Amino acid sequence: MLKERIFEEIDRQKERLCEMADTIFDHPECDGEEMMAADLLCGYLAENGFSVERPIAGLKSAFRAVYHSVGNGAAPRIGLLCEYDALAGLGHGCGHHMQGPACLGAAVALKNCCRDQAFTLVVYGTPAEETFGGKINMMEAGYLKDIDVALMMHGGPDTCTDIRCLALSSFDVTFHGKKAHAAIMPEEGRSAFDALLLAFQGVEFLREHVRDDVRMHYTVKNLPGPENVVPSEAVGSFALRSFSRDYLDQVAKRFRDIVRGAALMAGVTCEIAEKPALANKVPNLTLNDLLVENARLAGAPGITPPRERTGSTDFGNVMHELPGSCIRIKFVPSGTSSHSKDYVEAGKTEAAHSCVVYGAKAMAGASLDMLTDCKIMESIKREFAEKRELYR
């Protein structure tokens, strides 16, 4: 059976795949500077006959690797997307070191075992998911438009897929005031920090007048200085989230009014720097079920129903343009939070190594199903077309 051969081919690669995962884990990189990880992954793809393009989209650690089998332009085009960035100060507390090796294991197995199938396989290396969202840059540069579906894997506390995720708008706000001695000449000062506190309070009042799914977070980014000096500058970071990108855009407009109003009340000026906006996911249950069924067939542990809600990711932006799904593979106890030391401590365990293999098999098996049954791909595309407008 062809799928069994593909799974065996992934098992054959296990030692090499896990070595790559461990190396990426031991050398955490982030924020678009993931050069060692990109070198490692691109080297393995080139070694196995993929045509590698790098850098792309103005991102030095982003890449595109392609394999064309027999067939013509109408053949299915499968995309495997991998992240490999770590968390600053924590390391691989989200398990991204496993994604690249899993995608490579799936890609090489499909290439070696499906030479008679008509398809194109594209592996994308997507940097900086945790910071500026490299997939957004790549899409703006015209990439990710050469595939019919996008598959990902992620380590997690359970083996499952996602239904929805939160769209995200984030801002750095800087208030500029006038410095003065707080005891001798306070009337000469205009406190930038007062404006920041007013903006925080305005966000609190806004909470009462938004939908239940909206989340709003803020923090002081830079300390304003000693207490006896009226601070001339104050910087805050703000994040707004919702399951609807369209609705979140409305909330973001109201947030900007709050910031400008806070500046007006404090008698200062403001600068609002908005970071790239992340979209909510467009769920594709057909693709979700396909990945989970193949994870089950591969023997992945801890299979649970899909998660109804998750955080934010630049993969959501991709899923507004084409069908996509991410299979999460259990490698830590249920209930464990990502972005935690628990993830880091489990990063090189046998469970993490098995996670790489199970993820590769789930993606490869799902890809094979799409290649050998045209009705599956048709169903995936039809569901995407139907849901795209519902999840704006």
Same structural domain, 99 and 159: yes
Q: Domain ends where: 275, 304, 323?
A: 275
DSSP letters, 201-251, are HHHHHHGGGS-TT-EEEEEEEE----TTEE-SEEEEEEEEEES-HHHHHHH
Residue type, 13: Q
Backbone angles phi, psi at 13, to 5 degrees: -85, -5
DSSP letters, 168-185, are EEEEEEEEE-B-EETTT-
Give residue-wise pLDDT tens across range 115-157: 888 999 999 999 999 999 999 999 999 999 999 999 999 999 9
Q: How far apart are CA 209 and CA 251, in angstroms?
A: 10
Cα–Cα separations (whole angstroms), residue 328 to 22, 85, 318? 19, 17, 18
- According to the model, what pLDDT value does residue 69 have? 84
How many CB atoms sit inside 10 A of residue 39's CB? 13
How many CB atoms sit inside 10 A of residue 350's CB? 10
Six-digit token string for 70: 């027999």
CB 144 within 8 A of CB 133: no
Same structural domain, 160 and 175: no
Same structural domain, 58 and 33: yes
- According to the model, what pLDDT value does residue 71 have? 64
CB 23 within 8 A of CB 362: no
- Within the chain, residue ranges assigned H as helices are 2-26, 35-47, 99-113, 134-140, 192-206, 245-266, 285-298, 315-319, 341-345, 350-372, 374-387
Q: Domain ends where: 275, 293, 323?
A: 275
Backbone angles phi, psi at 180, to 5 degrees: -160, 165
Same structural domain, 232 and 322: no
Q: Domain ends where: 239, 256, 275?
A: 275
Same structural domain, 156 and 177: no
Residue 305: domain span? 2-164+281-391
Buried b (16+ CB within 10 A) or exposed e, 143-162: bbeebbbbbbbbbbbbbbbb
Domain at 239, CATH number: 3.30.70.360
Low-confidence ranges of the chain (pLDDT < 70): 71-73
Same structural domain, 204 and 157: no
Same structural domain, 19 and 132: yes
Angle in degrees, CA 219, 132, 346, rounded to 5: 85
Q: How far apart are CA 96 and CA 94, in angstroms?
A: 6
Same structural domain, 38 and 160: yes
Domain at 13, CATH number: 3.40.630.10
Same structural domain, 124 and 270: no
DSSP letters, 127-152, are --TTTT-HHHHHHHTTTT-S-SEEEE
- According to the model, what pLDDT value does residue 28 have? 98
Over its C-alpha atoms, the chain yields an Rg (Å, rounded) of 23
Same structural domain, 270 and 122: no
CB 153 within 8 A of CB 374: no
Same structural domain, 51 and 102: yes
Q: What is the total count of domains within the chain?
A: 2
Identify the bridge partners of residue 92 per DSSP, sorted by sequence position: none
At how many degrees (to 10) do helices 350-372 and 374-387 cross? 100
Give me the count of residues in the chain. 392
- According to the model, what pLDDT value does residue 72 have? 59
Same structural domain, 141 and 63: yes
95: left (phi over 0), alpha (psi -120 to 50) or beta: left
